[in-house]
Chain A
Amino acid sequence: MKKYNVKTAISYPKIGAMGKTGTWRIFKPILDKNKCIKCLRCWVFCPETAIKRVDNSVEIDYDYCKGCGVCANVCPVKAITMVKEER
């Protein structure tokens, strides 16, 4: 990756630069793979890129999912439900 020598606010791609942001989560998305139609809307819309494409389906990376619920909202078949975290 090319780095720039200019003093302005530039950041470079890195997984987990802010630590494991999944600990911020209040609600946890649970994917029901039986309902999932693999339309990938959740993968497109996840603002944290915490939904990964795995074997023609998707998986949620709970290390970094902040529980915003966008995926559950955009799912056309309600395959994702938001469940309160118990800690």
Chain B
Amino acid sequence: MKTVIDTGNYIAARAALMAKPKVVAAYPITPQTTIVEGIAKYVENGELDAEYICVESEHSAMSACIGAAATGVRTFTATSAHGLLLMHEMLHWAALARLPIVMCNVNRAIGPGWNIWCDENDSIAQRDTGWLQFYCSSNQEVFDTVIQAYKIAENEKVLLPAMVNLGGFILSHTSLPVKVPEQKEIDEFLPPYKPKWRLDVNNPITHGNIIFPDDYYRIRYDMQLAQNNSKKIIKEVAKEWKEKFGTYHGDLVEVYKCDNADLVILAMGAIGAEAKVAVDKMQREGLKVGLLRIRVLRPFPDEEIIRIAKQCNKLLVIDRNISVGNEGALASETRACLKDRVEDANVYGFIAGLGGKDVTYNDIEKMCKMVINKKAGRIEWYGLG
């Protein structure tokens, strides 16, 4: 184990290196570019024995990963914003093909106007594709989650692709210290990939053939079961990582100082890290505020949210995304999971930080005080000015 100081993107590249993918197909896009640039360097200097495919678009990047994964090898790619949106069709394909591809997505706003800063609308738009979705709050979590994601995705009870999200610039281009285990230890934690199905010229099969309604309905159901199964696997893998390497970021969620809390903040990504500072500050002032950081959005951590909602009666949900015409995605999903299951739960949705607008611990404290002072409505656009 050694400690390195590096940006979220180079840490993601290092994690990918240590997971030993055999194929990396990628197309550059700000603020993701340095991830695949880092991997290209590893391949070039011989540190990583992988086929590095420079493709002409993100749609092709995901298609190449699907093709490679279908031959039974571990694959990696990374993208951001418009690149992720261009992949959308193939994201569905990867999930329905049950291929455990791991991809980093650096959360970035969608244009127009052209904006390269942090915003989660890109990955939120992929919620229904069947991918597991992780949201990281530190560079250490990025490293740990990329490796963990392979182990979870490749588990035979899961077999779904996994997306590891990190905030554009806030993590992607910020250097933070990260504990990196030895390669031998990673190899023990993550053994070589053993595919559960594969294209093989010596045993010819067709994949993606015609499938009639009854069977199609069945494979969709099976994806749902796999997402449900992954909840247990995510917990086991996070626990195993903690025991082996000492770092832990929660499993589906990270529960932070929620004992005796009357008000609990729900947040994802780097806002989740900022919210810890806000919670510490408010608790020192005697306010009963805690944090439930949503680390995994798919599968949706409904049981964990219900448990917290039963213990406190106010939930403040911060969304760095907006499902235009409704509200923030996490707020609406939180309301939906609590409906009829928890009485008297009050959910206050805050839209904040779109297009990289700063969300500091002071802002989070102000949001909490709006709720505490009964100044917050069902949906608040924080800091419109």
* Contacts from A to B (Cβ < 8 Å): 1-2, 4-13
Contacts and interface: CB of A to CB of B under 8 A. Distances in A.
A11 B199 CA distance: 11
Nearest to A7: B222
Q: Which 3 A-B pairs have the closest CB atoms?
A: A4-B197, A7-B222, A11-B209
Interface stretch (B200-208, B260-268, B375-383): B200-208
17 contacts: A4-B205, A6-B98, A6-B159, A6-B197, A7-B98, A7-B222, A8-B197, A9-B96, A9-B209, A9-B211, A9-B215, A9-B219, A10-B197, A10-B209, A11-B205, A11-B206, A12-B205
B204 A13 contact: yes
Nearest to A18: B210
Given A2-B203, A9-B209, A9-B219, 13 more contacts: A5-B196, A6-B98, A7-B98, A7-B219, A8-B98, A9-B207, A9-B208, A9-B211, A10-B205, A10-B209, A11-B205, A12-B206, A13-B205
A1 B203 contact: yes
A9 B197 CA distance: 11
A4 B97 CA distance: 13
Contacts of A1: 203
B218 interface: yes
A44 to B, nearest CB: 17
Given A4-B196, A4-B197, A10 B206 contact: yes
- Which of A4, A6, A11, A13 lies at the interface centre, i.e. has the most chain B CB atoms within 10 A of its CB? A6
Contacts of B211: 9
A8 B207 contact: yes
Nearest to B204: A13
Nearest to B215: A9
Contact of A10 (B159, B207, B218, B222): B207
A11 B215 CA distance: 12
Contacts of B222: 7
B200 to A, nearest CB: 8
Interface string B71-109: 000000000000000000000000011100000000000
Count chain A CB atoms within 10 A of each CB in B96, B98, B215, B222 and give the residue with the most.
B98
Interface string B103-125: 00000000000000000000000
Nearest to B198: A4
A10 B200 CA distance: 13
B230 to A, nearest CB: 15
A6 B196 contact: yes
Interface string B124-159: 000000000000000000000000000000000001
B157 to A, nearest CB: 11
